[in-house]
Amino acid sequence: MTAEFPPSDQAPAGVDVAALQASLEAAEGRALESKDLYMRALAELENVRKRSAREVEQAHKFAIDRFANDLVAVKDSLELGVDAAGTIDTLRAGSEATLKLLSKAFEKAGVVEISPQGEMFNPELHEAMVAQPSAEHVPNSVLQVVQKGYQLNGRLLRPARVIVAREP
């Protein structure tokens, strides 16, 4: 204690020391329980965070699994086509079959082809390689697709590379 309030073995009149002691012990018990619950909740939160991080890592790792599996079938088809290519006609037929397999794999994976022949130029989906004068076409329309573009589930993978009409 301090000099103002020297320690005393006697409690002030009307104070039940035993009741205060019991109340203090009960409060300390509740505090320990609360601390224990807090520590458990903190540990559970950390476990959830770690589990979520593992699940996200696995999702990233195997997100392309189905698409890769479909591409394996395309590779098999290409190998068969190369092995069986006796004539130009069989090579062409094999290539067409492989292209169909690849298109089906793209479709299942949400890959959409952008081939804007005759459409108006859209800088969000197209990349202008050349602006060519043309009296027969509307200015800013796509005259020719140099290289097709692709979207994956609405997000641009590669813009279509195009030749655009301009006024002569």
Give the pLDDT of residue 10. Answer: 67
Same-domain status, 51 and 85 = no
Q: Are strands 142-147 and 160-166 parallel, antiparallel or unpaired?
A: antiparallel
Residue 83: closest CA among 98, 68, 69:
98
Q: Which tens digit of pLDDT belongs to each residue from 62-116?
A: 777 777 777 777 777 777 777 776 778 877 888 888 889 888 888 888 889 999 9
Structural domain containing residue 27: 18-62
Question: CB-based contacts of 95: which residues, under 8 Å, 6+ apart?
Answer: 81
Tokens of 31: 């505090």
Distances (CA, A) of 142 to 10, 68, 116, 151: 100, 33, 7, 18
Domain count, the chain: 3
Least confident of 77-81, 109-113, 126-130, 163-167: 77-81
* pTM for the whole structure: 0.57
- Can you tell me the distance from the alpha carbon of 2 to that of 104, in angstroms, rounded to the nearest whole number? 87
Q: Domain ends where: 62, 97, 118?
A: 62
Same-domain status, 116 and 158 = yes
